Amino acid sequence: MTTPPHNAPKNAPRDAAPRLLSWYDHNRRDLPWRAKPGEVADPYRVWLSEIMLQQTTVPAAAPYFRAFTERWPTVRDLAAAPLDDVLVAWAGLGYYARARNLHKCAQVVAAERAGRFPDKEVALLELPGIGAYTAAAITAIAFGRKATVVDGNVERVISRVFAVEEPLPGVKPKLRALAALLTPDERPGDYAQAMMDLGATVCTPRKPKCMLCPWSDWCAARAAGVQEQLPRKAAKADKPTRRGVAFWLLNPEGAVLLRRRAEEGLLGGMTEVPSTPWAGHAPSDAEIAAAAPLDLSWRRLPGVVRHTFSHFHLELEIVAAKAGDGWRMAEGLWVPVDRLGGQALPSVMMKVVRHALAHA
C-alpha cells in the first residue's frame, strides 16, 4: 500500500498517489530504457535515457538509445570510447554539449566511482551534465529513493490539477513545491514515471483526454473549463536571424573539405562544412573572401539552408568550388563524399551537405 504524503494540499485527495499508480500499472508505456514490472532498473540506462530526453522527444531519442546501449552496454564501455565516436553516434540528436558531458560523466563514474552511479541527489549533482531534474529522476527511478521529478509533462499536470494561473517559467518553483507535496514515500520511481506518462499520453498540451485521467474528478482546471489554457506561458521574445555562407569545396579526388568546431560553445567539437561567421547581417564579399578556405572562383548555389537553434534562426547560403593542385593548402579534413555519414555532422550541417549534393 502506498503511503500518501502527510502534507498534501487540502484539495488533493489522500489517495492521489495510489490512484495514479494504479492507473500506471495498467497503462504504463513500454519504453526501451524502462525496466519491466518486477525488474530492477539499471542506473546506467536510466541516466543515459534522461540525458537523451533533455530537449528531445521520446520517438527521436529511442533509436539513439538502442544504438548506444548496443554499442556501449555499460558505463565503462562508454567511458572507454573515443569522444569522436560518441559525437558521431550522437549526430542528429541536437544540443551537442549533452554528448560531451555524457562522455565526461561516464569517465568520472568509471574512474572515480568504480563504474557505479551514486544513489543520492547531492552526489549525482556533482557529476558532469547532471542537473536537478536528472539527479531526481535517477534517484527515484534507478534507486527507489523519494525524490520529486519535475519535467515539462509534470509541470503541465500540476498546473492543471491546482489551476495555477501564474505563467511559466517564473512559476516553476511553485509547481515544484506542489509536486513535492504529492510525491509518495513508496514507489517513488514508478510514481515519477507515472506522472511523465500521464502528461505525455493523457494530460497533453492540446485536447487533453480528461475522461481517461485518474485525477479528473479533482482537477481544478477541468472544473473551471480552462485545462487547455494551462499552463500559461510568458510571451517569448522573437528569435533573431543570423546569416552566413558555407563553402562546399571538392578536391580533385572527389573529397569535400570539413573542419572541426572549437570544443567550447555552440556545436562544440562537432564537424562542419567551413563557413563565414554567423552574424546578424549577410556577409559582404570581403567577409566571404576572408573566410574562404582557398582563393578560388566560388559560385553561389541556388536556395538557402535554414535551421533553428534554441535562441536564433540561421540562414546559410552555399558557395561551391573545385580545388586545383593547391588543395592541400586548405586547413581541415578532406572526406570522401560517400563517407560523410561517418562524421560528427550536426543537423544543420547535414542540411548543408544534402543541399550541396542536390545543387552543386
Q: Which of 329, 337, 339 is nearest to 357 (CA)?
A: 337
Query: Residue 320: CA atoms inside 13 Å, Cβ hemisphere, count?
Result: 14
Residue corresponding to grid cell 489522500: 14
Instruction: Output the CA angle 163-169-172, nearest 5 degrees.
Output: 60
Q: Considering 50, 121, 155, 272, which one is annotated as catalytic? A: 50
Please confirm, yes or no, whether 50 is among the known catalytic residues: yes
Amino acid at 65: F
HEC secondary structure over the chain? CCCCCCCCCCCCCCCHHHHHHHHHHHHCCCCCCCCCCCCCCCHHHHHHHHHHHCCCCHHHHHHHHHHHHHHCCCHHHHHHCCHHHHHHHHCCCCCCHHHHHHHHHHHHHHHHCCCCCCCCHHHHCCCCCCCHHHHHHHHHHHHCCCCCCCCHHHHHHHHHHCCCCCCECCCHHHHHHHHHHHCCCCCHHHHHHHHHHHHHHCCCCCCCCHHHCCCHHHCHHHHHCCHHHCCCECCCCCCCEEEEEEEEEECCCCEEEEEECCCCCCCCCCEECCECCCECCCCCHHHHHHHCCCCCCCEECCCCEEEECCCCEEEEEEEEEECCHHHHHCCCEEEEHHHHHHCCCCHHHHHHHHHHHHHC
Query: What is the C-alpha to C-alpha distance for residues 44 and 100, in angstroms, rounded to an integer?
Result: 16
Active-site annotation, residues: 50
